[in-house]
Amino acid sequence: MLRFIFSLSLVCISLLGNAQPKDTAKVIYPERYGLRLGVDLHKIARSFYEKDYRGFEVVGDYRLTKRFYIAGEIGNEDKTVDDDRLNFTTKGTYFKVGFDYNSFENWLDMENMIYIGMRYGVSSFNHTLNSYKIYDPTNYYGENTIISGAEFDGLNASWLEVVGGIKAELFNNLYMGFSVRLNYLVYDKKPENFDNLFIPGYNRTYDGKFGASINYSVSYFIPIYKKK
């Protein structure tokens, strides 16, 4: 935990130091290149505290150059949405692939990140319409609940995702991260007489093309080689 706090402190100090004159002298040291793999803690936690949600996501990145990383996520989600007018369950899997650019200048052998990036996401899923409500003037409450059970299979969607986040070393090779994601829906196959109100990996659609989500990750770095 002390290493994590120290890493975050260095990130803050570095941001403040960008406004100060910099010494032209630099220390050359070998930097590690390799694969970082982990899981999204946010989805795991939601699976415990939300009774209508189950989700799991594996995250990863591979360092290509000093600044650029290939990055991606793969996972699955099972969510029941209970709105004022309808209740439905969505199940499916997804994967995202893209890149991250690290804008943070690390000190010596540290490998923390303040990054921006992009992803292209693809999801395959199905909906089950559990129930819906219709207007009924003969009913005291003005509506009736209809039990449905209708299923909509073979659905898919794709989207672009802009990512911004931070990763800081907690212990040796173990990293904690947080990211914010803004999504733009490129394509979705809509079911007949229904709509894609929730897409695994994308989140709620809110009757439009834009969405958003967050990610809390813990990951482990596997060094492969060093480069000056």
In this prediction, what percent of the chain has a pLDDT beyond 70?
Answer: 82
Which value, to the nearest 10 degrees, does the dihedral of the CA atoms of residues 201, 41, 12, 37 take?
A: -80
Q: pLDDT band at residue 187, thresholds of 50, 70 and 90?
A: very high
pLDDT digits (tens, 9 = 90+) for 47-69: 999 999 999 999 999 999 999 99
pLDDT of residue 207: 67
Buried b (16+ CB within 10 A) or exposed e, 19-55: eeeeeeeeeeeebebeebebbbbbbeebeeeeeeebb
Tell me the average pLDDT of the chain: 86
Which stretch of DSSP H or E encloses residue 187? strand 174-188
What's the rounded Cα separation, in Å, for the pair 209 and 206?
8
Nearest partner of 200 among 126, 94, 96, judged by Cα: 94
Decide if 150 contacts 164 (C-beta within 8 A). no
Q: What average pLDDT score do residues 6-29 get?
A: 52
Kindly give, in sequence order, each residue whose CB lies less than 8 Å from that of residue 28, ignoring residues fewer than 6 positions away. Answer: 228
Q: Is 4 a residue whose pLDDT tops 50?
A: no
pLDDT digits (tens, 9 = 90+) for 142-154: 565 667 778 999 9
Please, what is the end-to-end C-alpha distance for the chain in angstroms? 29
